[in-house]
Amino acid sequence: MQFTINRNLFLENLNNVMRAISSRTTIPILSGIKLDLSETELVLTGSDTNISIEIKIPVNDDLKVISTGSIVLPARFFSEIIKKLPGKDFSFEVKESFQTKITSENTEFMINGLDANNYPRLPEIPNDSAFTLSGKTFREIINETVFAVANQESRPTLNGVNFNFSQDKIKAVATDSHRLAQRTIELENGPETKAKLVIPGNSLVEFSRIIGESDPEITVSPGENQVLFTIGNLAFYSRLLEGSYPDTDRLIPTESTTEAEFDLSTLARALDRVSLLTHESRNNVVKLNLDTENQKVKMTGDSAEIGNVEEELPFKKLTGESLLIAFNPDYLRDALRASFTDSVVMNFTQPLRPFTVVPGKDDVEFTQLITPVRTF
């Protein structure tokens, strides 16, 4: 196996494949990256069993094939070597016993590789149920929900975002049982057959980084226990979480007794100030006092060791019954960071019942639910 390639082209694709490789894998060969060279393309593959990434680089002026073959190389060292090579191009040659020579200008590395035949095969996912969607739309829906997934292993299904794809919309829900984020976005050309997929949060975070700030077209191919996302020459495989996702619709209140609308940035800055002290407290609780009779809203926090803080909040609207509620400020902070409208509306029912945070616009379907904290 022998080829020469433009270093920047190779490094750009290598960096994306490296996202799938974990240093903590229990399968030694998966700490490596697989290179498979044919007459028409060079295929780079990385995997940690949860996600797998495959990138195809076509043969062109930047990639010249001398002889075909395949090899698995230690990913971390190989990546560092390519980053530090001096020249514009480099040469790659596999010799006897899988020893691999990498040459650029006056620099020559010789590293030991492994037999690519021992590398696990990627799953075969049929494309008969495939559909396309906007990369920008998918990245938005990930960022608006993934922060609410659970991290504990006791309920593994909650470690992912529950996606419901239909012909006219995507509905995504994430919850860790203390908070919930639910986002619905309209689609123009969704799948003809509805698809329900629970995708691990870690997989979605990595895929969101690959999408980046651009708006590529994504092809989604659902499989039995894997889903394949394709962007151009990149294929991103993620395992799906097994088990049925809980019915979260019943958790969201359909009516409220108290409603308050705030400017998003004003509320976020006030919350940051008040939580400065509560983060030093063992309980980390902020209290919100909504006094509808006197049309006042106060946010308070305290720490037995440091002191206390109180701030009166300006608001756009305050209606319904007066209410005092306590909650974890980090949950509301995350909810506000995921919000994208200039104002948010908070709807309350009772001091110990979950409250919702929704956009200050009627045409946006985005509901976040936060469970309050009992303080007595």
Instruction: Give the residue extent of every domain in the chain.
Output: 2-118, 131-249, 252-370
CATH numeric code, 2-118:
3.10.150.10
Closest CA to 169 of 341, 365, 357: 365
Q: Does this chain's domain 2-118 share its CATH topology with 252-370?
A: yes
Beta-bridge mates of residue 109: 102
Contact 311, 329 (CB under 8 A): no
Q: From first to last of its 376 residues, what are the pLDDT tens digits of the chain?
A: 999 999 999 999 999 999 999 878 888 999 999 999 999 999 999 999 899 999 999 999 999 999 999 999 999 999 999 999 999 999 999 998 999 999 999 999 999 999 999 999 999 998 888 999 999 999 999 999 999 999 887 789 999 999 999 988 999 999 999 999 999 999 887 788 888 999 999 999 999 999 998 899 999 999 989 999 999 999 999 999 998 999 999 999 999 999 999 999 999 999 999 998 888 877 889 999 999 999 999 999 988 788 889 999 999 999 999 999 999 999 999 999 999 999 999 999 999 999 999 999 888 899 999 999 987 6
Q: What distances in angstroms separate CA 324 from CA 11, 140, 257, 357, 374, one per listed residue?
A: 55, 33, 12, 16, 11
The amino acid that residue 44 corresponds to is: L
Is the domain defined by 131-249 classed in CATH 3.10.150.10?
yes
Q: Which two tokens stand for residue 267?
A: 């509320």
The tokens of 352 are what?
């110990």
Q: Using one digit for the tens of pLDDT, what is the confidence trace for 168-186?
A: 899 999 999 999 999 999 9
- Per the listing, tokens 């691990």 go with 200
Rg (CA), the chain: 26
Strand ranges of the sheet holding 355-359, from the earlier edge strand across to the other edge = 195-200, 160-165, 169-175, 179-186, 365-370, 355-359, 343-348, 258-263, 317-320
Residue 317's DSSP bridge partners are 261
Q: Do residues 338 and 367 make contact, with C-beta atoms less than 8 angstroms apart? A: no
| Of 21, 4, 28, 27, nearest in space to 78 by CA | 21
Structure tokens at 341: 């409208």
Q: What is the domain class of 252-370 according to CATH? A: alpha beta
Contact 161, 349 (CB under 8 A): no
- CA 140 centroid distance within chain: 10
**How far, in Å, CA of 82 to CA of 11, rounded?**
7
Question: Residues 150, 157: contact at Cβ < 8 Å?
Answer: no
